[in-house]
Chain A
Amino acid sequence: GAGVSQTPSNKVTEKGKYVELRCDPISGHTALYWYRQSLGQGPEFLIYFQGTGAADDSGLPNDRFFAVRPEGSVSTLKIQRTERGDSAVYLCASSLDISYEQYFGPGTRLTVT
């Protein structure tokens, strides 16, 4: 079946602009995670959704970052007033429920110029 998909695969934006990154989890997966991965580093947790609600958003770096999952499936990570330091690969992962293995998407490479 289809895996986790993320769009766009690449996004180049100018400093100060607003961006939206989309994640389509595997159908039926209730848990969804967003991570940020900088070059040469491991994934850094951003936010976790269980269903429609954000169960843990302690990893969001500041209030410029926001994520939603209104119907409990697709999720959108929103970044306002982008900064060059936001450049990274943003990964999404989903799992059937908590305690099940996570399936990762291919990521969105965000470049802020």
Chain B
Amino acid sequence: AQKVTQAQTEISVVEKEDVTLDCVYETRDTTYYLFWYKQPPSGELVFLIRRNSFDEQNEISGRYSWNFQKSTSSFNFTITASQVVDSAVYFCALSLYNFNKFYFGSGTKLNVKP
């Protein structure tokens, strides 16, 4: 069975602080994909990144970076120099090779205060 755990329910930081959102996943499949989505207060989920299980290279996109470690089954997301606009709920998700089904974590609510 597949499972995604986001243990941090809510995090509050002050603007310009760095923050890391944790994601731990479970699967016995060797081919899978991991995702991060952002759900701002307006409600629509926005895709941020996808990684496949064969690519453990870290990725950086502007202030966002992702650390994928198969050894610990983790796919953590770091926001550097956070901004108020980063306030949202962030979801980590897992899909198997066929993309038929997606498993989402329960989300981490990030509050960035000015």
| Chain A interface residues (CB < 8 Å from chain B) | 31, 33, 35, 40-45, 48, 55-56, 58-59, 89, 91, 93, 98-99, 101-107
Contacts and interface: CB of A to CB of B under 8 A. Distances in A.
B27 to A, nearest CB: 15
B106 interface: yes
B91 A42 contact: yes
A33 B91 CA distance: 17
A41 B102 CA distance: 14
- The interface residues of chain B, by DSSP majority, are classed as loop
Contacts, number: 54
Interface stretch (B14-22, B43-51, B56-64): B43-51
A98 B99 contact: yes
A56 B100 contact: yes
B98 A41 contact: no
Interface size class of B (residues with CB under 8 A): 20 to 34
A59 B45 contact: no
B107 A42 contact: yes
Contact of B45 (A43, A55, A98, A99): A43
26 contacts: A31-B99, A33-B102, A35-B102, A41-B107, A42-B4, A42-B6, A42-B93, A42-B104, A43-B91, A44-B104, A48-B100, A48-B101, A55-B100, A58-B101, A59-B101, A89-B43, A98-B99, A99-B99, A101-B47, A103-B47, A104-B44, A104-B46, A105-B44, A106-B44, A107-B43, A107-B44
Given A42-B106, A101-B50, A106 B43 contact: yes
A44 B50 CA distance: 19
A8 to B, nearest CB: 15
A56 B50 contact: no
A61 B23 CA distance: 26
Tell which of A35, A44, A104 has the most Cβ of chain B within 10 Å: A104
Interface string B72-104: 000000000000000000010100001111111
